[in-house]
A and B are shown apart, each in its own frame.
Chain A
Amino acid sequence: MPLVDVRDLKVEARTDAGRRIEIIRGVSFTVAEGEITALIGESGSGKTTIALTLMGHARSGCTITGGTVELAGRDLVAMPESGRQQLRGTEVAYIPQSAAAAFNPAQRLIDQVVEVARIHRLMPMAAARAKAVELFRALALPEPETIGNRYPHQVSGGQLQRLAAAMALIGGPRLVIFDEPTTALDVTTQIEVLRAFKTVMKQGSMGGVYVSHDLAVVAQIADRIVVLKGGEVQEEGPTEAILHCARHPYTRELLAAFEPLRSDAPAGAANRPPRPVVEVKDLVAGYGPLGKDGLPFSVALRKVSCRLERGRNLGVVGESGSGKSTLARVIAGLLPPASGRVQLDGRELAASARGRSKDELRRMQIVFQLADTALNPARSVADIVGRPLTFYHGRKGRAREARVDELLDMVRLPRALRHRLPGELSGGQKQRVNLARALAAEPAVVLCDEITSALDSVVAAAVIELLKELQRELDLSYIFISHDLSTVQAICDEVMVMYKGEVVENLTADQLPDGARHAYSKLLFASVPKLDTGWLDSVPATVA
Chain B
Amino acid sequence: MLSHPPLRRRSGFQVNAVGLAAGAIVLFWAIVALVGPDLAPHPPGEIVDFDFYGPVSARLWMGSDYLGRDIFSRILMGARYTVGISLAAVCIACFSGIVLGMTAAVIGGWFDTLLSRFLDALSSIPSKLFGLVVVAAVGSSIPVLVLVLAVIYTPGSYRFARALAVNSNTMDYVAVARARGEGTGYLITQEILPNIAGPVLADLGLRFVFIVLLLSGLSFLGLGVQPPYADWGSLVRENLGGLPFAAPAVIFPCLAIASLTISVNLLIDNLPVRIRDRSD
Question: Which A residues contact B (CB, under 8 angstroms)?
Answer: 15-17, 19, 329, 332-334, 353-354, 356, 358, 361, 365-366, 368-370, 373-379, 387-388, 391-392, 414-416, 419-421, 423-424, 437, 441
Q: Contact between A379 and B194 (Cβ–Cβ < 8 Å)?
A: yes
Q: Given the known inter-chain contacts A19-B277, A332-B179, A368-B176, please indicate yes or no for A415 contacting B4, CB distance below 8 A.
A: yes
Closest to A333 in B: B179
Q: Can you list 12 A-B pairs with a CB-CB distance of less than 8 A?
A: A16-B273, A332-B179, A333-B179, A353-B178, A365-B179, A366-B176, A368-B176, A374-B172, A377-B195, A379-B194, A387-B180, A419-B278
Q: For chain B, which range describes its interface: under 10, 10 to 19, 20 to 34, or 35 or more residues?
A: 20 to 34
Task: Give the distance in Å from the alpha carbon of A46 to the alpha carbon of B280 in the complex.
Answer: 19
Q: Contact between B194 and A378 (Cβ–Cβ < 8 Å)?
A: yes
Any chain A CB within 8 A of the CB of B181?
A: yes
Q: Which one of B181, B182, B277, B278 contacts A356 once the chains associate, using CB atoms below 8 Å?
A: B181
Q: Contact between B194 and A373 (Cβ–Cβ < 8 Å)?
A: no
Closest to A14 in B: B277
Count of A-B contacts judged by CB separation below 8 Å: 78
Q: Contact between B14 and A419 (Cβ–Cβ < 8 Å)?
A: no
Q: Least Cβ distance of A3 to chain B in Å?
A: 37
Q: Given the known inter-chain contacts A15-B277, A376-B191, A376-B194, please indicate yes or no for A366 contacting B179, CB distance below 8 A.
A: yes
B245-280 interface bits toward A, Cβ cutoff 8 Å, 1 = contact, 0 = none: 000000000000000000000000000010111111
Task: Give the distance in Å from the alpha carbon of A391 to the alpha carbon of B179 in the complex.
Answer: 12
Q: Least Cβ distance of B222 to chain A in Å?
A: 47
Q: Contact between A358 and B280 (Cβ–Cβ < 8 Å)?
A: no
Task: Give the distance in Å from the alpha carbon of A354 to the alpha carbon of B180 in the complex.
Answer: 9
Residues of A within 8 A of B195 (CB): 376-378
Q: Contact between B171 and A16 (Cβ–Cβ < 8 Å)?
A: no
Question: Which B residues contact A (CB, under 8 angstroms)?
Answer: 1, 3-5, 7, 14, 171-173, 175-176, 178-182, 190-191, 194-195, 197, 273, 275-280
Q: Contact between A361 and B181 (Cβ–Cβ < 8 Å)?
A: yes
Task: Give the distance in Å from the alpha carbon of A185 to the alpha carbon of B158 in the complex.
Answer: 39
Q: Least Cβ distance of B87 to chain A in Å?
A: 26
Q: Given contact pairs A358-B181, A361-B179, enumerate 4 new A-B contacts (beta carbons under 8 Å).
A: A15-B279, A19-B277, A369-B172, A379-B194
Q: Which one of B176, B191, B194, B197 contacts A437 once the chains associate, using CB atoms below 8 Å?
A: B176
Q: Contact between A375 and B181 (Cβ–Cβ < 8 Å)?
A: no
Which of A356, A366, A378, A414 has the most CB atoms of chain B within a 10 A radius of its CB? A378
Q: Least Cβ distance of B273 to chain A in Å?
A: 7
Task: Give the distance in Å from the alpha carbon of A437 to the alpha carbon of B157 in the complex.
Answer: 34
Q: Contact between B276 and A373 (Cβ–Cβ < 8 Å)?
A: no
Q: Contact between A388 and B194 (Cβ–Cβ < 8 Å)?
A: no
Q: Contact between B180 and A424 (Cβ–Cβ < 8 Å)?
A: no
Task: Give the distance in Å from the alpha carbon of A377 to the alpha carbon of B273 in the complex.
Answer: 15
Task: Give the distance in Å from the alpha carbon of A416 to the alpha carbon of B280 in the complex.
Answer: 11
Task: Give the distance in Å from the alpha carbon of A437 to the alpha carbon of B5 in the complex.
Answer: 22
Residues of B within 8 A of A373 (CB): 171-173
Q: Contact between B173 and A17 (Cβ–Cβ < 8 Å)?
A: no
Task: Give the distance in Å from the alpha carbon of A231 to the alpha carbon of B4 in the complex.
Answer: 29
Q: Which one of A361, A368, A387, A420 contacts B278 once the chains associate, using CB atoms below 8 Å?
A: A420
Residues of A within 8 A of B181 (CB): 353-354, 356, 358, 361, 391
Task: Give the distance in Å from the alpha carbon of A414 to the alpha carbon of B1 in the complex.
Answer: 10
Closest to A372 in B: B172
Q: Least Cβ distance of B119 to chain A in Å?
A: 25
Q: Which one of B172, B175, B190, B277 contacts A379 once the chains associate, using CB atoms below 8 Å?
A: B190
Residues of A within 8 A of B278 (CB): 419-420
Closest to A377 in B: B195
The list of the 4 closest CB pairs from A to B, nearest first, reads: A378-B194, A374-B172, A15-B277, A17-B277
Task: Give the distance in Å from the alpha carbon of A369 to the alpha carbon of B176 in the complex.
Answer: 12
Q: Least Cβ distance of B15 to chain A in Å?
A: 12
Q: Least Cβ distance of B78 to chain A in Å?
A: 39
Q: Given the known inter-chain contacts A16-B277, A373-B173, A415-B4, please indicate yes or no for A334 contacting B179, CB distance below 8 A.
A: yes
Q: Contact between B194 and A334 (Cβ–Cβ < 8 Å)?
A: no
Residues of B within 8 A of A369 (CB): 172
Residues of B within 8 A of A329 (CB): 175
Closest to A331 in B: B179
Task: Give the distance in Å from the alpha carbon of A370 to the alpha carbon of B181 in the complex.
Answer: 21
Q: Least Cβ distance of B44 to chain A in Å?
A: 46
Q: Least Cβ distance of B187 to chain A in Å?
A: 11
Task: Give the distance in Å from the alpha carbon of A365 to the alpha carbon of B180 in the complex.
Answer: 8
Q: Which one of A332, A376, A421 contacts B173 once the chains associate, using CB atoms below 8 Å?
A: A376
Task: Give the distance in Å from the alpha carbon of A515 to the alpha carbon of B215 in the complex.
Answer: 77
Q: Contact between A419 and B7 (Cβ–Cβ < 8 Å)?
A: yes
Q: Given the known inter-chain contacts A378-B195, A391-B182, please indicate yes or no for A368 contacting B172, CB distance below 8 A.
A: yes
